[in-house]
Amino acid sequence: MEQIRKADLPPRADDDAPAAPVLRAPQTQTQMIDSLLDEIDEVLEDSAEAFVRGFVQKGGQ
Amino acid sequence: MTGQDGIVTRLGAQNSVEAPTRRAGDRLGAFLSALRPQEPTSEAPAGATPEPATPGDRGASAGVVGLETEYGITADGLSADEAAREMFAPVVAWGRSTSVFTPAGARLYLDLGAHPEYATAECSTLAELVAQDRAGDALVAELGRAVDRRRAAAGRPPAQIAVFKNNSDSVGHSFGAHENYQVTREGAAALAAALIPFLVTRQLVAGAGHIEVDQRGARYVLSARAGHVSETMSSASTRARPIINTRDEPHADGQKYRRLHVIVGDSNMSQMATRWKFGATSLVIAAAARGARLPRMELANPVRAISQVSRGWREPSPLELVDGRTARPASIQRAYLEVALEAAETAEDAAVIGLWRKALDAWDLGDFDGLETQLDWLAKLRLIERYQERSGAALEDARVARLALAYHQLGPQGLRGRLEASGMLTRAVSPWDVARAVLEPPPTTRARLRGRFVARARAAGREYSVDWMRLRLGDAPAVTVADPLDSFNAAAEQLIAGLKPASGRRARAVETKAELDKIMDRAADAVLAEGV
């Protein structure tokens, strides 16, 4: 009979509810993201629809 | 890929009796030194310094690995087919084919569906792999930029080709990033089966993030490829997409080795994610090769599970196992992490284990702070959510789709160079490593021979042909280098040494650099100057 290791066992039911992911970015990060978004805002506002629709290609593998 | 596609492989280092066995103390020492904070190298470029990967750490920690990336393209007023043909005109002029091996030992080609594709040379360290992969990005981006230079010279309007390293066009056609690991033939099928739960849940760390749109609306999912998987293992690659492709092309001694061809992975922009993906997968394979027992967590339905993980990440639910138990995706990853520890030896391995732990802790605690500089799905999500907050745009808004594309766009229009320069994405290798990898092969594998052979045969003005295993000059019998780790093969060295620089009329012919040679130089320059 093979020994069953702890890693093989499923977590107990009470371990089974991890907190919902917290994804709010910290303030300093938001500032960096904002300055990046400022740089590309025009590109996004301007021609996004046509650009996105134009990107159609056959599938690869 | 067709018959001659990208190389592969991973060697279980311990399969050879000659393989040095390191003492446990050495392993611990390597670990501790890797965990210690390190001084940035004096060479480090402006912006974020690469994560320490200990210079001189040349252990063949990754086995033999390679990555084939299919790129997406779009252009102004041209179909993708036309754009691809224009991009590859200098390639055809250079090698009389749309498929060539570069002086870096890599393969550059035009694949199904007009996708430019770059298969890295065989690599035996993670640093080599990351640098080669990024070199491919730089080269394909430069092929796109060169089109408008030629058009301008000919007085034609610009095509403004945009190149994306992602996995889907705007209507959901999928294309891939195919990983290759050399494994021993004996036990390869069992190994592949035992890896499935790992590969299904690996997206927790390596997923690139994706906006999935269907009749029910748009949602952000962890993996761009997960939604296209319809089989666990098969020889298909287009009509259906398996997790592992079983085509048997070892590109090595077929009696001993197989190439494990993993086609379920996303194209990663983050170097850290790329390094982790190959490092973690290699460690699990190496542990199995040493006789470690992989977790017995066979999934009841891997195809359903991979979608469940990708789509249900905000409230992860347990996956059903065949034996009736259930396991959370992060618990499955943790079980493989425990096994991987048994094979971890180098500083690169330690960095991989460190990110693995940190990411799984984040999934357990629901707090991902600090991981946004490493994980693509999180870095991209933060950009998207902030943009939505600022603009009020819904997830299905074209502006959000454009932003997601910008994350994956190569060249100066893409966001990655800016994200890395500001430290919002962490580098795993320096721009110098990448620039070198555009022009030179990795020194630790037979790609070293292939790359030098290609460069020298061209400088000599001689006819040549190469594939992953063979070097051939004119009509002479080919020299075969069967072992991917054979970087100093006597017959190949002799062949290369016999190639003298051209003289006379031939010299004048080779002195004029072909356009593709200039494009390679420019790609290396762009990496250094623009960080793209």
Write out pLDDT tens, residues B34-66. 333 333 333 334 444 455 444 333 334 579 999
* % of chain B with per-residue pLDDT over 90: 81
Q: What is the pLDDT of residue B530?
A: 83
pTM: 0.87
On whether the CB atoms of residues B139 and B100 are closer than 8 A, the answer is no
On whether the CB atoms of residues B35 and B350 are closer than 8 A, the answer is yes
Count of C-beta atoms within a 10 Å radius of residue B254 = 13
The complex's ipTM?
0.82
Nearest to B349 by CA among B294, B293, B258, B285: B285
Which of the pair, B529 or B11, is modelled with greater confidence? Answer: B529
Length of chain B: 532
- CA-only gyration radius of chain B, Å: 22
Q: What is the pLDDT of residue B340?
A: 97
Range of lowest pLDDT (A27-31, B351-355, B388-392): A27-31
| Chain B residues lying within 8 Å of A54, measured CB to CB | 74, 76, 170
Cβ-nearest to B398 among A25, A32, A52: A52
B 190-209 residues inside an 8 A Cβ radius of A:
none
Q: Which residues contact B37 (CB under 8 A, 6 or more apart)?
A: none
Q: What domains, with CATH codes, occur in chain B?
A: 13-71+165-428 (3.30.590), 437-530 (no CATH)
pLDDT digits (tens, 9 = 90+) for B169-195: 998 899 989 999 999 999 999 999 999
Q: What is the pLDDT of residue A58?
A: 78
At residue B528, φ and ψ (nearest 5 deg) are -75, -40
Q: What is the pLDDT of residue B47?
A: 45
Q: How far is A50 from chain B (nearest CA, A)?
A: 9
Nearest to B221 by CA among B210, B213, B205, B206: B210
What is the average per-residue pLDDT within B116-135? 98
| Chain A residues lying within 8 Å of B170, measured CB to CB | 52-56
Q: Which residues contact B125 (CB under 8 A, 6 or more apart)?
A: B57, B58, B59, B60, B61, B62, B348, B442, B444
Q: What is the pLDDT of residue B111?
A: 85
What is the average per-residue pLDDT within B205-220? 95
| Chain A residues lying within 8 Å of B112, measured CB to CB | 58-61
pLDDT band at B92 (very low <50, low <70, confident <90, very high): very high
pLDDT digits (tens, 9 = 90+) for B393-421: 999 999 999 999 999 999 999 999 999 99
pLDDT(B225) > 50: yes
Active-site residues of B, by number, are 111
Cβ-nearest to A20 among B117, B315, B335: B315
pLDDT digits (tens, 9 = 90+) for B273-305: 999 999 999 999 999 999 999 999 999 999 999
pLDDT band at B12 (very low <50, low <70, confident <90, very high): very low
Inter-CA distances, B400 with A36, B208, B485, Å: 14, 16, 45
At residue B101, φ and ψ (nearest 5 deg) are -100, 130
Which of the pair, B6 or B342, is modelled with greater confidence? Answer: B342
Q: What is the pLDDT of residue A23?
A: 64
Distance separating alpha carbons of residues B242 and B261, to the nearest angstrom: 10
Inter-CA distances, B46 with A33, B281, B522, Å: 19, 32, 20
Q: For Cα atoms B357, B359, B363, give the angle at the middle one, nearest 5 degrees.
A: 115
Q: Which residues on adjacent β-strands are paired with residue B233? A: B244
**Three-state DSSP string of B198-230:** HHHHCHHHHCCCEEEEECCEEEEECCCCHHHCC
pLDDT(B431) > 80: yes
Q: What is the pLDDT of residue B61?
A: 54
Mutate to test the interface with A, among B325, B337, B388, B402 (most CBs of A within 10 A): B402
Q: What sign has the CA pseudo-torsion B16, B20, B25, B27?
A: negative
The 3-state DSSP class for residue B99 equals: strand
Inter-chain CB proximity A29 and B164 less than 8 Å: no
At residue A31, φ and ψ (nearest 5 deg) are -65, -40
